[in-house]
Structure 1
C-alpha cells in the first residue's frame, strides 16, 4: 500500500509486508471475530473434530469469493453496493443492504458483549462499562485516525490471533483423530448438525467481508492515486497477483485460526461432555478447569484483540454499503466533515450494537444465530456478485476467468444447499 503524504505526493511503503498484505489480510483476520470464535468453539464442543473438514473444504471457496470481491472493487472503482446501485434494481439493493445492516448490528453487539466478558474474566469489573469503552474506542479510531495509520493498526491487531495457536500448547491433542476429522468428511441427519454447518459457513463466508474487501480495494486505489483496472487494464496483471496473494494468505490465516479453536474446544470441552457453548468468553472460561488459567487468559486476550479488529470492519462495511446505496460521499480516507453521513452510519451501527447489550435481548446468544443469518444472507449477495463478474459493462476487459466463476458459483450453490437443508430440517 502506498500512502499519500501531506503535500499530496506519495511515500514509499514502510515495508514489503505492509505493501503486499492489506485488505485480504485484514478481512481474513476479522473473519475470526468473537462471534466466529463462539461458533467454532460450539462446533468443537458439540462435535469434537467432526467438523474440522469444513475448514479445509471452505478454504478454496472463501478464497475465490473474496478474491472476486476484491477484483470487483479494484476493477470498477466502486464497492459492491455501488455497482448494484448502477446495474441492478433498487429493490434488490435496498433489500440486501437492509439485511446486511441487521446482521452487522447484531454481530457488533455480540462482539462487544463477548469482549466485555473477556476483559471481566481477566480483570473483573462491570461488563456494561467495558461495552461502552470498546464501542467508544472503535468509533473514535475509525472516524478520527488518519486512514494509513488506522489500517496499520488493523494489520498489527491480526497478531492477536496467534493466541489461539498458543492455547493448543496447553492441551492434549489426539492428532490422529484431528487428521480423520480434517480429511474425512462426516455428515449427520441431525438438524443441529446442519445448523452448525451453516453457522460455520456463515462466519467464514460472510456478506460483510465481501463489502469490506471490495471497498478497501477502492480505498487503496484512491490512496495510491491509481485508476480502476477497467480504465487502466495494463495494471491488471500486477494488481491481480497482489490481490490473489493477499487474499489467499489472509484466508489461510483465518482458517488455521478457526481450526485451532475447533481443536482446542474438542480436546478440552467435548471430551468432558461440555457441548453447549453460547459465547466466546464462555469458551475461554470453560478452559480453566481443563487447560489451566494461563490458557484461558490467552484465549480471552485473543477475543479482545480480534474484537477490536472486527468491529471496525463490521461497522465500516455497513457504512460503505449504506453510503453507496444512498450516493453519499464515502471513504475512511476522507475527513469526518467531508463524509458526515458515512461516518454517522459507522457510529450509529456501533452504537446500536452496543445498545443491544443494555437491553433484555441477549446478543451473546444471538451471535451464534447471527452466523446462521449471515450464511443465509450470503446467498443472494453471492449470486449478484457472480453475475457481475461476467458482465463486460461492469468489469470491462477484466472479467473474471470462467474457472474462477465456476468455483464461485459452486460456493454459492453449496451455501444455498446447506441453508436449504437447515431450514427444511428445522421446520419439517
Structure 2
C-alpha cells in the first residue's frame, strides 16, 4: 500500500519531462535506433550512455527557462536575438517538425497495416486526423493525462528485450567502453543517434509546458508563485521530472538498439530503412509476440509524438508573433496557435499522399533540425546565465558545463553531418 502511494506521488510529479522524453522516441527515432542496431550490433550502445547526461542537462535548461519566466522558449529567444533571426529559426523548426510528422504518420499507418491489414495510407490518414483533433478537443489537463498514458506504449520495447536471450556482460562492456569503428558510415550513424536524441522540438515543448503550468497556477490565485520555497519546490520537481523522462527515453532507445542488434545484426541483417523493415525482419527471428509488440509500440509512440511535434511548432510560432497560446485555451481563444498545430499535422499527413518519400522527408527534417539546434542551444545557455532574465535561478556551474558540452557536441555533430553530406 505504501509502495502504491509513493508510485502515485511520483506519477503526479511527472509531466512535461516524462512526456518530452517519451516523445523523443517517435517512430522516426525508433527507425534510427533500429538501423544502428542492425548495422553495428551492440557497438553503438555507448552513444546512448554518452548522450544521457547531455540530454538531461539541455532539457533542464529549457524547462527552467519556461518555468521561471512563465514564457515559452521562442518568446525568450526574442529577448536575446533579433526577432527576424528568431523567426527564421522558428520557420526551420516548423519545416522540420512537419516533415517529421509525415514520416511518423506514415510509419504508424504501415505498423497498423502489418498488424491488421488494410491500406497503409488509409490508416495514416486516420492517425493524422486523430492527432490533429485530439489537442483541440481536450483541455490541458486531459491532454497531459492522455500523453502520460501513451508513454506506457514504449514499455513494449523493454518487453521485446526480455523476450530475447541477452548476454548482459557483453552489453555492459559495449555500453561503458566505446568500440569506435572507422569509415564515414559509422560516424554518420553516430551523428544520427545524437541528432535523434537531442532535438529542438523537445526544447520548445518542455519550456512551453512548464510556462503553461506556471500561468495556470498564477491564474488560480492563492498560490505563492514568487516565494522562494515555492520556486525551490518546483525547480526540484522539474529536476526529478526531467531526469526521469530522459532516462526513460534513452532506456527505450537502448532496448530498441539492443533488440535489433541481437535479432537482426546477429542473423546477418545489417540494412533496414524503416520501422516496418525492422518489424518484418524481427518476426521470423524473434517470433510473432516480439513482432506484435514492436509494431504496436510504433503506433503508441506515434500517437504521443505527433501532437508534441505539432504542438511545439505551434507554441514557437505563437511566441514569436505574441499570440495567445496554450492547450488550456479553447480554439476560439487561441485561433493562431491551434491553426498552426492542426495545419502542421494535416500537411504532414498530406505529404504521405504525394510522391515525396517519407524517408527523404525525414532526411531533410534531420538537416533542418541540425541547422536550427545549435544556435537555439547557444541562446538557451546564454539565457540560462542571465540574472536579469532568471533572477536568482540562473544555471548552476554543473548545468552550465554540461549544457555547453552538449552544445559543442551538437555543433560538432552538425559539422560532421554536413561534411559527410
Shorter-chain TM-score category? over 0.9
Q: What whole-Å deviation, never above 9, does each CA across 1:246-290 have from its counterpart, x for those lacking one?
A: 000010011110000000110011122222221112211110111
Q: What whole-Å deviation, never above 9, does each CA across 1:19-73 have from its counterpart, x for those lacking one?
A: 2001000001111010010000000011111110011111110001101110000
Which among 298, 304, 314 is matched to residue 299 of structure 2?
Answer: 304
Task: Give the structure with the larger helix fraction.
Answer: 2
**Does the aligned pair in 2 maintain the 1:41–1:262 contact within 8 Å?**
yes
**Does the aligned pair in 2 maintain the 1:110–1:366 contact within 8 Å?**
yes
C-alpha distance in 2 between matches for 1:33 and 1:194 = 22
Greater CA drift, 278-287 or 317-326: 278-287
Shift of 1:124: 0.4
Q: CA RMSD in A?
A: 1.9
1:101 corresponds to:
94
Which among 19, 24, 30 is matched to residue 26 of structure 1?
Answer: 19
2:174 corresponds to:
181
Matches within 5 A, 1:101-120: 101-120=94-113
C-alpha distance in 1 between matches for 2:294 and 2:106 = 16
**Does the aligned pair in 2 maintain the 1:279–1:365 contact within 8 Å?**
no
Greater CA drift, 303-312 or 145-154: 145-154
For the pair 1:314 / 2:309, whether they are aligned, the reply is yes
Determine helix, strand or coil for the equivalent of 1:360.
coil
Shift of 1:178: 1.8
Greater CA drift, 113-122 or 391-400: 391-400
Aligned residues: 413
Determine helix, strand or coil for the equivalent of 1:359.
coil
2:78 corresponds to:
85
Determine helix, strand or coil for the equivalent of 2:418.
helix
**Does the aligned pair in 2 maintain the 1:69–1:211 contact within 8 Å?**
yes
For the pair 1:204 / 2:206, whether they are aligned, the reply is no
Greater CA drift, 292-301 or 369-378: 369-378
Q: Against the structure 1 CA distance between its residues 326 and 85, is the aligned structure 2 distance closer, same or farther, given a 3 Å change threshold? A: same
1:408 corresponds to:
403
Shift of 1:203: 1.2
For normalisation by structure 2, the TM-score amounts to 0.94
**Does the aligned pair in 2 maintain the 1:112–1:354 contact within 8 Å?**
yes
**Does the aligned pair in 1 maintain the 2:107–2:276 contact within 8 Å?**
yes
Greater CA drift, 139-148 or 320-329: 139-148
Determine helix, strand or coil for the equivalent of 2:180.
coil
1:66 corresponds to:
59
Greater CA drift, 263-272 or 87-96: 87-96
2:239 corresponds to:
244
1:379 corresponds to:
374
Shift of 1:369: 5.6
**Does the aligned pair in 2 maintain the 1:163–1:298 contact within 8 Å?**
yes
1:193 corresponds to:
186
| Displaced runs of 4 or more, over 4 A | 226-234
1:123 corresponds to:
116
Shift of 1:372: 5.2
C-alpha distance in 2 between matches for 1:377 and 1:273 = 37
Q: What whole-Å deviation, never above 9, does each CA across 1:297-342 have from its counterpart, x for those lacking one?
A: 1100000000000000000000000110111110110011000111
C-alpha distance in 1 between matches for 2:144 and 2:420 = 43
C-alpha distance in 1 between matches for 2:338 and 2:169 = 50
**Does the aligned pair in 2 maintain the 1:203–1:374 contact within 8 Å?**
no
Shift of 1:94: 1.2
**Does the aligned pair in 2 maintain the 1:202–1:372 contact within 8 Å?**
no
C-alpha distance in 2 between matches for 1:341 and 1:183 = 47
C-alpha distance in 2 between matches for 1:150 and 1:301 = 21
Determine helix, strand or coil for the equivalent of 2:218.
coil
Determine helix, strand or coil for the equivalent of 2:332.
helix
C-alpha distance in 1 between matches for 2:170 and 2:365 = 30
For the pair 1:330 / 2:325, whether they are aligned, the reply is yes
1:355 corresponds to:
350
C-alpha distance in 2 between matches for 1:76 and 1:232 = 14
**Does the aligned pair in 2 maintain the 1:36–1:371 contact within 8 Å?**
no
Structure 1 unmatched ranges of 5 or more: 1-13
Determine helix, strand or coil for the equivalent of 2:166.
coil
Structure 2 unmatched ranges of 5 or more: 1-6
**Does the aligned pair in 2 maintain the 1:51–1:185 contact within 8 Å?**
yes
Which among 158, 171, 179 is matched to residue 165 of structure 1?
Answer: 158
2:37 corresponds to:
44
**Does the aligned pair in 2 maintain the 1:113–1:363 contact within 8 Å?**
yes
For the pair 1:264 / 2:262, whether they are aligned, the reply is no
C-alpha distance in 1 between matches for 2:65 and 2:279 = 38
For normalisation by structure 1, the TM-score amounts to 0.93
**Does the aligned pair in 2 maintain the 1:40–1:200 contact within 8 Å?**
yes
Matches within 5 A, 1:333-348: 333-348=328-343
Shift of 1:368: 5.3
**Does the aligned pair in 1 maintain the 2:318–2:337 contact within 8 Å?**
yes
C-alpha distance in 2 between matches for 1:78 and 1:214 = 8
C-alpha distance in 1 between matches for 2:8 and 2:166 = 37
